[in-house]
Structure 1
Amino acid sequence: MKKLVLGRTGLEVSPIAIGGAAFAYVHRSKKWDPMSDEGKQVVHATLHRALDLGINYVDTAPAYGNGYSETLVGEVMKTRRSECVLASKVWYELDHAGVIDSFHQILERLQTDHIDIMQIHGRMYTPQEVQHILHGGPLDALLELRASGKIGHIGITTEEPWTVIPFLQHEAIEVYQIAYNFIYQAAARHFLIEAAKVDAGVVSMRTMTSGILQREMSLLAPASASIPDLYEVALKFVLSDSRVHAGIVEMRWPQEVEDNVRLLNDWHPPVDFATLPRLTFEVYKAEDAE
Structure 2
Amino acid sequence: MARTLEKRRIGQSSLEITTLGLGCASLAGIFSAVPADQARATIHHALDAGLNHVDTAPQYGLGRSEHLVGDVVRTRRAETILSTKVGRLLKPVSPDVQDKGAWVDPLPFDQVYDYSYDGIMRSFEDSLQRLGVNNVDILYVHDIGVATHGVEANKPLWQQLASGGYRALRELRDTGVVSAIGLGVNEWEVLMDAMTLGDWDVFLLAGRYTLLEQTALAPFMTTAAQRGSSVVVGGPFNSGILVGGTTFNYAKAPEAIVARVKAIETVCTQFNVPLPAAALQFPLTHPVVCNVLPGPRSPAELDGILDWWDVAIPAELWTTLAEKGLLASGTPTPGGTA
TM-score range normalised by the length of the shorter chain? 0.7 to 0.9
After superposition, the C-alpha distances for 1:167-216 in whole angstroms (9 at most, x for unaligned) are: 33555421111132223310013211111112201111211112144333
Q: Which residue of 1 aligns with 2:269?
A: none
Indicate how the Cα distance of structure 1 residues 251 and 100 shifts in structure 2: closer, same or farther if over 3 A, else same: same
TM-score by structure 1 length? 0.81
Indicate how the Cα distance of structure 1 residues 93 and 185 shifts in structure 2: closer, same or farther if over 3 A, else same: farther
Indicate how the Cα distance of structure 1 residues 273 and 162 shifts in structure 2: closer, same or farther if over 3 A, else same: farther
Indicate how the Cα distance of structure 1 residues 106 and 262 shifts in structure 2: closer, same or farther if over 3 A, else same: same
> Contact 2:185 / 2:205 at 8 angstroms: preserved in 1?
yes
Correspondence 1:131-142 to 2 at 5 A: 131-135=159-163, 137-142=164-169
Q: Which residue of 1 aligns with 2:115?
A: 94
The amino acid that maps onto 1:132 is: Q
CA–CA separation in structure 2 for the residues paired with 1:160 and 1:239: 19
Residue 216 of structure 1 pairs with residue 246 of structure 2: yes
Q: Which residue of 1 aligns with 2:228?
A: 199
Indicate how the Cα distance of structure 1 residues 268 and 183 shifts in structure 2: closer, same or farther if over 3 A, else same: closer
Q: Which residue of 1 aligns with 2:124?
A: 103
Residue 53 of structure 1 pairs with residue 54 of structure 2: no
The amino acid that maps onto 2:45 is: R
Higher mean displacement: 105-114 or 175-184: 175-184
Structure 1 residue 269 displacement after superposition: 6.0
> Contact 1:242 / 1:273 at 8 angstroms: preserved in 2?
no
How many equivalent pairs are there? Answer: 270
Correspondence 1:26-105 to 2 at 5 A: 26-28=30-32, 33-34=33-34, 39-91=35-87, 93-105=114-126
Q: Which residue of 1 aligns with 2:306?
A: 261
The amino acid that maps onto 1:211 is: G
Runs of 4+ in structure 1 over 6 Å off: 217-222, 271-274
Residue 231 of structure 1 pairs with residue 259 of structure 2: no
TM-score by structure 2 length? 0.71
> Contact 2:86 / 2:120 at 8 angstroms: preserved in 1?
yes
Choose between structure 1 and 2 for higher RCO, CA contacts under 8 A separated by at least 6 residues.
1
Higher mean displacement: 240-249 or 253-262: 253-262
CA–CA separation in structure 2 for the residues paired with 1:111 and 1:122: 24
After superposition, the C-alpha distances for 1:33-65 in whole angstroms (9 at most, x for unaligned) are: 22xxxx111111111111011110111100111
Per residue, is there more helix in 1 or in 2?
1
Please point out which of 18, 23, 27 is paired with 1:19. Answer: 23
Structure 1 residue 82 displacement after superposition: 1.0
> Contact 2:138 / 2:178 at 8 angstroms: preserved in 1?
yes
Segments of structure 1 that go 5 or more residues without pairing to the other structure are 284-290
Indicate how the Cα distance of structure 1 residues 190 and 114 shifts in structure 2: closer, same or farther if over 3 A, else same: same
Q: Which residue of 2 aligns with 1:144?
A: 171
Higher mean displacement: 109-118 or 254-263: 254-263
CA–CA separation in structure 1 for the residues paired with 2:212 and 2:162: 31
CA–CA separation in structure 2 for the residues paired with 1:122 and 1:251: 21
After superposition, the C-alpha distances for 1:201-232 in whole angstroms (9 at most, x for unaligned) are: 1111211112144333898679x889x94433
Residue 278 of structure 1 pairs with residue 328 of structure 2: yes
> Contact 1:209 / 1:234 at 8 angstroms: preserved in 2?
no
Segments of structure 2 that go 5 or more residues without pairing to the other structure are 88-112, 267-272, 332-338
Q: Which residue of 2 aligns with 1:173?
A: 200
Please point out which of 181, 184, 187 is paired with 2:216. Answer: 187
> What's the secondary structure of 1:115's corresponding residue?
coil
CA–CA separation in structure 1 for the residues paired with 2:6 and 2:310: 9
After superposition, the C-alpha distances for 1:123-162 in whole angstroms (9 at most, x for unaligned) are: 5356945443122x21122222223322111111221112
> Contact 1:114 / 1:150 at 8 angstroms: preserved in 2?
yes
CA–CA separation in structure 1 for the residues paired with 2:173 and 2:29: 31
The amino acid that maps onto 1:21 is: A
> Contact 1:155 / 1:177 at 8 angstroms: preserved in 2?
yes
Indicate how the Cα distance of structure 1 residues 140 and 192 shifts in structure 2: closer, same or farther if over 3 A, else same: same
CA–CA separation in structure 2 for the residues paired with 1:269 and 1:56: 26
Instruction: Quote the sequence identity (%).
Output: 30
Q: Which residue of 2 aligns with 1:7?
A: 11
Q: C-alpha root-mean-square deviation of aligned residues, in Å? A: 3.2
